[in-house]
Amino acid sequence: MYIRQVLKVKHDWWMYILGVVGAIAGIGLFSLPHLAGIFYKVFEGTADESKLEDINYLMTLFESNLNLAFMLLPFVEMFVASLRPITHLFSRPELEVGETMGFLDFMSRFWSDTMSFQAYRDMWVTVPQLPRYIFNSVFIATAVTLLSMCFIIPAAYAYARFDFRGKTTSLTLFLAVNMFSGAVLLIPLYKLLRSYGLLNTYWAMIIPGVAFLIPTGIWLLKSFLEKIPYELEEAAFVDGASRLYTLRRVILPLAVPGLIVVSVAMFIGAYAQQFLFAITFNQNRDYMPLPAGIFEFVGYQTVLWNEMMAASLIGILPVLLIFLFMQKHLISGLTAGAVKE
> Who has greater pLDDT, 247 or 301?
247
Radius of gyration of the chain (CA): 25
- The predicted structure's pLDDT at residue 144: 94
Residue 8 is assigned to a structural domain of this protein:
no
Q: Is the pLDDT of residue 95 over 80?
A: no
- The predicted structure's pLDDT at residue 341: 46
Residue 305 is assigned to a structural domain of this protein:
yes
Reported as a single tens digit per residue, the pLDDT across 51-92 is 666 656 666 666 555 666 767 777 787 888 888 887 776 665
pTM of the complete model: 0.71
- Determine contact, residues 74/80, Cβ cutoff 8 Å: no
Residue 248 is assigned to a structural domain of this protein:
yes
Q: What are phi and psi of 298, to 5 degrees?
A: -90, 110
pLDDT winner (highest mean) among 194-203, 218-227, 266-275, 307-316: 194-203
Residues pairing with 303 in the sheet:
298
Residue 60 is assigned to a structural domain of this protein:
no
Reported as a single tens digit per residue, the pLDDT across 244-291 is 888 888 888 888 888 888 888 888 888 888 888 888 888 888 898 988
Residue 143 is assigned to a structural domain of this protein:
yes
Residue 187 is assigned to a structural domain of this protein:
yes
Share of the chain above pLDDT 90, in %: 8
Mean pLDDT of the chain: 77
Q: d(Cα 257, Cα 233) in Å, to the nearest integer?
A: 19
DSSP assignment of 150-218 equals HHHHHHHHHHHH---TTHHHHHHHHHHHTTS-GGGGHHHHHHHHHHTT-TTSTHHHHHHHHHHHHHHHH
> Who has greater pLDDT, 46 or 237?
237
- Determine contact, residues 281/208, Cβ cutoff 8 Å: yes
Domains in the chain, number: 1
- The predicted structure's pLDDT at residue 203: 92
Residue 70 is assigned to a structural domain of this protein:
no
Residue 234 is assigned to a structural domain of this protein:
yes
Domain around 293: 119-338
Q: Is the pLDDT of residue 309 over 50?
A: yes
> Who has greater pLDDT, 80 or 199?
199
> Who has greater pLDDT, 158 or 1?
158
- Three-state secondary structure call for residue 54: coil
Which has the closest alpha carbon to 274: 139, 137, 75, 180? 137
- The predicted structure's pLDDT at residue 8: 54
- Determine contact, residues 240/196, Cβ cutoff 8 Å: no
Count CB atoms within 10 A of the CB of residue 266. Answer: 26
Q: Is the pLDDT of residue 336 over 60?
A: no
CATH number of the structural domain spanning residue 128: 1.10.3720.10
